[in-house]
């Protein structure tokens, strides 16, 4: 006698950016075999506000219209059941948290736990809740495109998951993602990331200062808060850019010519900025 065992879980890690939205469109048209999309929410106060607006206005309605499951997952503490946000943790009274990859005085990023705590573990917990195990791992799609092939790293998968890169395997580039999204009658989403991410390129900070001055000011105030705490601990200052200067000075107001940045400052995990 045979039994109909449930198929192994398959889910796509949805970052809210070009690659993830293109994958959603490809799933809707039957070109990708994914019906579940999981977005780990770093916090409504932490994610790029434009990304959250796009999610509500376009991504969620499109997914529902095509019978796809798009789930937003908060980081909920196991014991207290408290919902945590990355910005909230950074600014919490008495916190010494430096979970983001702040830049040290030599410009290099410091150690970070934001990707693990607010992305990998959050999605992993949901996968396990849905039945993923070491013996029966879930297949997790990551939205890395061909022009970002260096970000692909299957060695980082957890025991209860098998990572795959469906866009990379199909030779899809970032510019192709924009075409795919527009072919569905949708606008291209903004770049997804935390608005205070130290991996932002200088031009991203410049655009924020010019177009979203209140948000830029909030980022400056966050950097200043972190450094007041560093002063109390007798430690060197940290920065949100690699130029070892306060954000206000590193990204001057009204200046169109920015310091040349030859480094790839993007998060290399594939769980963010997709």
Report how far residue 14's alpha carbon sits from residue 236's, in angstroms, rounded to the nearest whole number: 36
β-partners of residue 83 are 76
What mean pLDDT do residues 151-173 have?
85
DSSP secondary structure, 142-180, as one string:
----GGGGGG--GGG--TTEEEE-HHHHTT--HHHHHHH
Quick check: 265 pLDDT over 60? no
3-state secondary structure of 40: strand
Instruction: Report pTM.
Output: 0.89
Which residue's structure tokens are 């993830």?
Answer: 20
Q: Record the tokens describing residue 266, joined without a space.
A: 């993007």
Cα-Cα-Cα-Cα dihedral of 134, 137, 141, 142, to 10°? 0
Residues 132 and 191: their CA atoms lie apart, in Å, by 30
The mean per-residue pLDDT over the stretch 37-48 comes to: 96
3-state DSSP assignment of residue 10: strand
Write down the pLDDT at residue 57: 98
* pLDDT of 257 over the 70 cut: no
Domain regions of the chain by residue span: 10-193, 200-257
Q: Which CATH number fits domain 10-193: 3.40.50.300, 3.40.50.920, 3.40.50.620, 1.20.120.450?
A: 3.40.50.620
**Any idea what DSSP says for residue 187?**
P
Mean pLDDT over 191-202 rounds to 93
Q: What is the pLDDT at residue 262?
A: 47
21-35 pLDDT, tens digit per residue, is 999 999 999 999 999
Mean pLDDT of 146-159: 76
3-state secondary structure of 194: strand
In the chain, % of residues over pLDDT 90: 75
DSSP helix, strand, coil percent of the chain (3-state; round to 5): 40, 10, 50
- What is the residue-averaged pLDDT of the chain? 89
């Amino acid at each position: 006698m045979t039994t109909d065992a449930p198929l192994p879980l398959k889910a796509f890690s949805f970052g809210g950016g070009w690659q993830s939205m293109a994958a959603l469109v490809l799933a809707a048209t039957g070109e990708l075999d994914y019906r579940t999309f999981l977005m780990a929410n770093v916090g409504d106060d932490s994610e790029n506000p434009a990304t959250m607006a796009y999610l509500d206005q376009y991504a969620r309605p499109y997914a529902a219209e095509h019978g796809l499951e798009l789930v937003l997952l908060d980081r909920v503490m196991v014991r207290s059941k408290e919902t945590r946000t990355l910005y909230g943790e950074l600014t919490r009274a008495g916190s010494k948290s430096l979970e983001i990859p702040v830049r040290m005085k030599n410009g290099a990023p410091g150690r970070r736990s934001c990707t693990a705590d607010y992305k990998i573990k959050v999605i992993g917990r949901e996968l396990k809740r849905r039945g993923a195990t070491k013996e029966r791992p879930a297949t997790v799609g990551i939205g890395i495109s061909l022009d970002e092939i260096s970000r692909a790293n299957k060695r980082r998968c957890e025991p209860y998951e098998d990572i795959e890169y469906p866009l990379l395997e199909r030779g899809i580039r970032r510019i192709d993602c924009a075409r795919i999204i527009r072919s569905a009658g949708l606008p291209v989403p903004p770049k997804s990331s935390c608005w205070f991410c130290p991996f932002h390129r200088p031009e991203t900070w410049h655009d924020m200062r010019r177009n979203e001055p209140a948000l830029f000011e909030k980022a400056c105030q966050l950097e200043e808060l972190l450094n007041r705490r560093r002063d109390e601990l007798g430690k060197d200052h940290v920065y949100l850019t690699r130029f070892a200067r306060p954000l206000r000075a590193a990204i001057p107001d009204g200046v169109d010519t920015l310091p040349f940045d030859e480094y790839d400052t993007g998060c290399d995990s594939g769980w963010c900025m997709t």
